[in-house]
Structure 1
Amino acid sequence: MQRIQVQGVHHITLVGSTRQSAIDFWQGVLGMPFLFEQPNLGLESENHLYFDPGDGRLLTVFTNDAHPDAGRAAPREVGCVEHIAFNVSRASFQQAPARLEQRGISFTQRDRGFMDSIYLRDPNGLKVELACYKFETPSGFRDADVLMAAYRLRIARGDHHIDASHVADAIEQLIATRDRLE
């Protein structure tokens, strides 16, 4: 049986609360330009807001001004979304804690070995991650190429998780394969 081959994320749609709450968070806090809105064609009582998360794709939010912000953490159960991660530059990542503190938004910062993460919640409790790789992907390769090579090195070495040494060695290996092809 043949599979359907996907080619990337087209868009993500969230169930939000009010129009203004969505604009204040996604555009005001995270800097995603608000592109346009239209009715939710599947549910007439809702509006459908469209934002640009920075890569030319879309993040959309269903809103209904009769629904207040949830004011609680989104459920973390089987079948639920745990979090959505957005790429940020190293410079933006370094400025994020102060900017979130200025807005009174609580967050958690984590070192993930091959990347750094800041976690916060939208007004309806959805966990949002600001993620920044600790490496620069070499020309001609994808981030996934570096991570797969680093993973193979981690497994071969019996290490607990990917760290900077795995990433550095993976990049060196990838560049060597590219140089042999040229």
Structure 2
Amino acid sequence: MKIEQIHHVAYRCKDAKETVEFYTKVLNMDFILAIAEDRVPSTKEPDPYMHLFMDAGNGNILAFFELPNSPEMGKDPNTPEWVQHIALRVKDENALMEAKKEIEAHGVEVLGPTNHEIIKSIYFFDPNGHRLELTCITATDDMMKKLDAVKWDMLEEWSRTKQAPKHADWLHSSEFEEVEV
């Protein structure tokens, strides 16, 4: 089996119309499809829903469900709010900074930019409380090759120790050029 791409990723929303308005106005995504049913097709359960599909570019689709008969949305109290997020890529650093201005102009609070060395990112929340990240790639090919060379060793060490491996500490030092893999 070989997966071709993600067709869509779906999240719950509090209000379908408010969600579409946010993603079309604030993030300039196209609203491409809505499906509404009184029964869940896979389980046949009676549970009316509105299913929305937003164009996230390059064949990527971000989808939402409004479930009016279900209890109010909640969050996993054991998972920090920064962990679960939707990351969307923009062209470059200039596009990232322009996006930050545009998002803030809509009254949305934005954190960042944060320099992760291989990407730069800004963070904010949609009206449903989902954390969003806009990011641009800043890594060089050499950086990515060095990270690729240590990924399995890092995973193995993490699996054994549950401590952060130091294989890529060079990312946060000014000595990147001197690191050999």
**TM-score between the two structures when normalised by the length of structure 2:** 0.68
2:159 corresponds to = none
AA at the equivalent of 2:171: I
> Is 1:55 the counterpart of 2:52 in the alignment?
no
If each structure's strand is expressed as a fraction of its own residues, which one has the higher value? 2
- Deviation of 1:16 after TM superposition, in Å, equals 0.5
Aligned pair partner of 2:86 in 61, 68, 84: 84
Q: Which runs of 5+ in 2 are unaligned?
A: 41-45, 155-165
Answer yes or no: is the 8 Å Cα contact 1:34–1:51 preserved in 2: yes
* Structure 1: distance between partners of 2:78 and 2:87: 18
> Is 1:160 the counterpart of 2:169 in the alignment?
yes
> Is 1:33 the counterpart of 2:35 in the alignment?
no
Q: Which runs of 5+ in 1 are unaligned?
A: 138-144, 170-182
1:175 corresponds to = none
* Counterpart mapping for 1:99-110 below 5 A: 99-109=102-112, 110=114
AA at the equivalent of 1:95: E
Aligned pair partner of 1:15 in 12, 17, 20: 12
AA at the equivalent of 1:57: N
* Structure 1: distance between partners of 2:91 and 2:111: 18
What is the SS of the residue equivalent to 1:94?
Answer: helix
Residues 65-108 of structure 1: per-residue CA shift (max 9 Å, x gap): 689x96x9x44635x96111111112320202211221111121
Percent sequence identity is 22
1:177 corresponds to = none
**TM-score between the two structures when normalised by the length of structure 1:** 0.67
Answer yes or no: is the 8 Å Cα contact 1:150–1:162 preserved in 2: no
1:6 corresponds to = 3
* Structure 1: distance between partners of 2:58 and 2:146: 25
AA at the equivalent of 2:169: H
Displaced runs of 4+ in structure 1, greater than 6 A? none
> Is 1:150 the counterpart of 2:146 in the alignment?
yes
* Structure 1: distance between partners of 2:167 and 2:11: 39
Residues 101-126 of structure 1: per-residue CA shift (max 9 Å, x gap): 21111121111011100111111111
AA at the equivalent of 2:49: E
AA at the equivalent of 2:15: T
Q: Are the structure 2 counterparts of residues 161 and 127 from structure 1 closer, same or farther at C-alpha, using a change threshold of 3 Å?
A: farther
1:172 corresponds to = none
2:158 corresponds to = none
Number of equivalences: 154
